Amino acid sequence: MEWWLLLSLILVCLLLLIFIGVPIAFSLGALSLTLVLVFLGPDKLMLVSTTAFGQINNFALAAIPLFIFMAEIILHSGVSTDAFDMLSKWTGRLPGGLAVASQLTCTLFASVSGASTATAAAVGRIAVPEMLSRGYEKRLSCGSIAAGGALGALIPPSIYMIIYGTLVEESIGQLFMGGVVPGLMLSGMFITYIIIRCAISPQLAPRVEGITWRERWRSLYKVWAILFLALAMLISIYLGIATPAEIAGVGCFLALVIGFAYRRLTWKAIKGAFLSTCRITCFIGWVLVAASLFGFVLSYLQLPQQLSQWLVEQSASPWLVIVGINIILIFLGCIMDPAGILLVTIPIFVPIIKALGFDPVWFGVMFVVNTEMAQITPPLGLNLYIIKGIAPSNVSLKDILIGAGPFMLLDSVGLALVIIFPQIILWLPSTMM
């Protein structure tokens, strides 16, 4: 069978399994086992266990449960509530001040959460009811939080970057640093859009009145803890003081200290954080095992290598290939969650971009910028449904989708910028010690 026909058949079977509701880990695992039996033979089944063990037996993966647990502790500590309260006092006089405060809170919480859904849920639970009660237009209120929450996938510590770095064997620290500038850039673009739109149409977002300078200054103490935690992690990674896994361990300890210092962290909350961390970590572990086996089988059959060679022989422009990859990712974002997209496509795309001479760190961060849009892209945008669950009953999913539309366009502009100007991603990693 021709390599392109076999690769197409494999991808069609995988998409069919996903469409009929088979979880991504089981889809990848079942298809990989079938390929092993058909093309490698039963005597090669031992490779399944050795490949799985080799993937999981990786110290870098220890960062995943630690960062998840840290985010759960911060969430139960109510720090996100304090951050929104402080920022709303300082930005209330701006056009769309509460929406601006929501974006800043999303950016701040993203720097300690590592996941977009957690960021959207934590900030949305506070900000959406507050904005609606103040007379903010419901589409702007909900759409802005859905988009701002997606920054959790990009701003370090990003779970997706840990997975990518593990699969591709690239520096997770450099990937983290590569996401800082694009994350801040997108956050700044969202805030600028909100201010301009609300300045043109003030009825969308009434300004908050009656806040004194005394109240503003007194509110600053509420964010010192989360700000200290975020900066300490970023500076440690940048200076190479410790590995991401070691920094995640210290972050967990500091998050517990902060939670107990605020006197909001109960033993029941800690138990809930442990259980949630176990569930998410087990899910990620199974998916990683299945994805590593899938990538091993594809590589054994020489399918990614032959696809790379074919593209090089066609003398296609490398940048045209990158545009094509991004179009495929945008399409997949409509029907798959970002973790699934990452694990299905990385074994195919990374050999191609390496053959074309692109930096894997740049590609990894660009990949996350693209899949960030998947969080607010219908019909499977997870953040859209999270905000729908938080918002009052008079807010429809259509309202949230329309509100998120302008932010999708801004995400597209941000994606174009990091493709045209790779140094947006690569500058900070290049200065690391």
Name the residue ranges covered by the structural domains of the chain.
55-430
- Model confidence at 194, pLDDT cuts 50, 70, 90, reads very high
CB 192 within 8 A of CB 407: no
What integer is the mean pLDDT of 65-87? 81
What integer is the mean pLDDT of 240-247? 84
d(CA 298, CA 13): 14
CB 381 within 8 A of CB 146: yes
What is the percent of the chain where pLDDT is above 70?
97
pLDDT of residue 422: 94
- 323-360 pLDDT per residue, tens: 888 988 888 887 677 777 887 788 888 888 888 889 99
pLDDT of residue 214: 82
Three-state SS for 377?
A: coil
Measured between alpha carbons, how far is residue 146 from residues 99, 135, 208, 371 in Å? 12, 19, 22, 14
| pLDDT exceeds cutoff 90 at 259 | no
| Beta carbons within 10 angstroms of residue 287's beta carbon | 22
Three-state SS for 21?
A: coil
Q: What is the DSSP string of 98-133?
A: HHHHHHHHHHHHHHHH--HHHHHHHHHHHHHHHHHH
Q: What is the DSSP string of 192-212?
A: HHHHHHHHH-GGGSPPP----
Calculate the dihedral angle through the C-alpha atoms of 277, 280, 283, 288, rounding to the nearest 10 degrees: -90
| pLDDT exceeds cutoff 80 at 57 | no
d(CA 365, CA 179): 6
| pLDDT exceeds cutoff 90 at 218 | no
| Beta carbons within 10 angstroms of residue 199's beta carbon | 13
Q: Which of 65, 68, 73 is nearest to 261 (CA)?
A: 73
d(CA 135, CA 206): 7
| pLDDT exceeds cutoff 80 at 235 | yes
What integer is the mean pLDDT of 244-273? 85
Phi-psi region of 378 (alpha: psi -120 to 50; beta: other; left: phi over 0): beta
Which residues touch 239 (CB under 8 Å, ≥6 apart)? 432, 433
Three-state SS for 158?
A: coil
Query: Which range has highest mean pLDDT (22-26, 237-241, 381-385, 400-404)?
Result: 400-404
- Model confidence at 18, pLDDT cuts 50, 70, 90, reads confident
pLDDT of residue 144: 92
Kindly report the average pLDDT of the chain as a whole number.
Answer: 85
CB 190 within 8 A of CB 410: yes
pLDDT of residue 3: 79
Burial group, residue 134, by CB count within 10 angstroms (0-12, 13-18, 19+): middle
What is the percent of the chain where pLDDT is above 90?
20
- 107-131 pLDDT per residue, tens: 988 888 777 878 888 888 888 888 8
| Beta carbons within 10 angstroms of residue 262's beta carbon | 14
323's tokens = 């545009």
pLDDT of residue 429: 92
